[in-house]
Structure 1
Amino acid sequence: MKRSWPGWTTALVVLLAVACSTGAIITAAYSWYPNLFLVGTTILLLLLIKFARTRSVLLLVAGAALCQVPGLTHAPITSTDAYRYVWDGRVQLSGSSPYSHVPLDDALAKLRDPILFPGLSPTDRSGVVGPPRADAPLDDDPRTRINRPQVPTIYPPVAQAYFTVVALFTPWSAGTFGLQLAAAAIAVALTWLLAVELRRRGRDPRWAALWGWSPIVALEAGSAAHVDVLAALLIILALTRRRAWLTGLLLGAAGAVKLLPLLLLPAIPRLRPKFVAVSTFLASYVPHLAVAGTLVAGFLPGYLHQEGFSDGSSRFAILALVLPPEARQLVAGVIAVGLALLALSRHGREPVAVTCCWLYGAALLVATPTYPWYGLPLIALAVLAGRIEWIAVPLAAYWAYASFGHDVRQGLIQLAALLVVVITITLRYRPDAVSRLISGPTARTLIRAP
Structure 2
Amino acid sequence: MALAAVASAAVVVGAAARQWWPDVVLVVGSVVVGLLVWRFGRGLGVGIVVVVAGLCQVPGLTQAPITSTDAYRYVWDGRVQLSGHSPYGYVPLDDSLARLRDPVLFPGLAPDQRSGVTGIPDDPAQLPVDDVRTRINRPGVPTIYPPVAEAYFTVVALFTPWSAGTLGLQIAAGLIAIALTWLLAVQNPRWAALWGWSPIVALEASNAAHVDVLAALFITAAVVTTARRPKLAAVLLGAAGGVKLLPLLLLPAFRHRRPVVALGTFIASYLPHVLAVGTLVLGFLPGYLNQEGFEDGSSRSAILALLLPPEARQLVAAILALALAALAFHRARRDPIALTCCWLYGAALLIATPTYPWYGLPLIALAALASRPEWIAVPLASYLAYASFGHDTRQGLIHLTAALTVAGALTIRHQLVAKSGLTAPPLPANTGERDETHRPSNLGRLR
Q: TM-score, normalised by structure 2?
A: 0.90
| Change in 2 beyond 3 A, CA 1:91/1:343 | same
**Equivalent residues in 2 for 1:12-411 (5 A)?**
14-29=1-16, 32=19, 34-49=22-37, 50-51=39-40, 54-135=43-124, 137-198=127-188, 205-241=189-225, 242-270=228-256, 273-411=258-396
Seq. identity, %: 68
Structure 2 equivalent of residue 444 of structure 1: none
2:90 maps to a residue whose letter is: H
Q: Is the 8 A contact 2:34 2:373 kept in 1?
A: no
Structure 2 equivalent of residue 437 of structure 1: none
User: Tell me, what secondary structure is at the counterpart of 2:59?
Assistant: helix
Q: Is the 8 A contact 1:372 1:398 kept in 2?
A: yes
Distance 1:422 1:284 in 2: 38
2:251 maps to a residue whose letter is: L
Deviation, structure 1 residue 291: 1.1
Deviation, structure 1 residue 119: 0.5
Q: Is the 8 A contact 1:232 1:376 kept in 2?
A: yes
1:37 maps to a residue whose letter is: V
User: Tell me, what secondary structure is at the counterpart of 2:15?
Assistant: helix
Deviation, structure 1 residue 46: 1.5
| Change in 2 beyond 3 A, CA 1:348/1:313 | same
2:31 maps to a residue whose letter is: I
Distance 2:117 2:232 in 1: 44
Q: Is the 8 A contact 1:153 1:298 kept in 2?
A: yes
Q: Is the 8 A contact 1:101 1:132 kept in 2?
A: no
Q: Is the 8 A contact 2:219 2:237 kept in 1?
A: yes
Distance 1:48 1:432 in 2: 22
| Change in 2 beyond 3 A, CA 1:48/1:27 | farther
1:20 maps to a residue whose letter is: A
2:243 maps to a residue whose letter is: V
| Change in 2 beyond 3 A, CA 1:314/1:429 | same
Q: Is the 8 A contact 1:100 1:132 kept in 2?
A: no
1:386 maps to a residue whose letter is: S
How many residues align? The count is 416
Q: Is the 8 A contact 2:120 2:141 kept in 1?
A: no
Q: Is the 8 A contact 1:253 1:281 kept in 2?
A: yes
Deviation, structure 1 residue 52: 5.2
2:242 maps to a residue whose letter is: A
Q: Deviations over 1:124-175 (max 9, x none)?
A: 0000012343346233110000001000000000000000000000000000
1:224 maps to a residue whose letter is: A
Deviation, structure 1 residue 36: 1.2
Distance 2:16 2:195 in 1: 22
| Change in 2 beyond 3 A, CA 1:133/1:228 | same
Deviation, structure 1 residue 47: 2.0
Considering only aligned residues, what root-mean-square deviation do their CA atoms show, in Å? Answer: 1.8
User: Tell me, what secondary structure is at the counterpart of 1:166?
Assistant: helix
Distance 1:52 1:264 in 2: 29
Q: Deviations over 1:81-121 (max 9, x none)?
A: 00000000000000000000000000000000000000111
Q: Is the 8 A contact 2:4 2:202 kept in 1?
A: no
| Change in 2 beyond 3 A, CA 1:164/1:53 | same
Structure 2 equivalent of residue 416 of structure 1: 401
User: Tell me, what secondary structure is at the counterpart of 1:285?
Assistant: helix
Distance 1:153 1:317 in 2: 26
Distance 2:52 2:335 in 1: 32
Distance 1:84 1:398 in 2: 22
Distance 1:352 1:86 in 2: 35
Q: Is the 8 A contact 1:427 1:433 kept in 2?
A: no
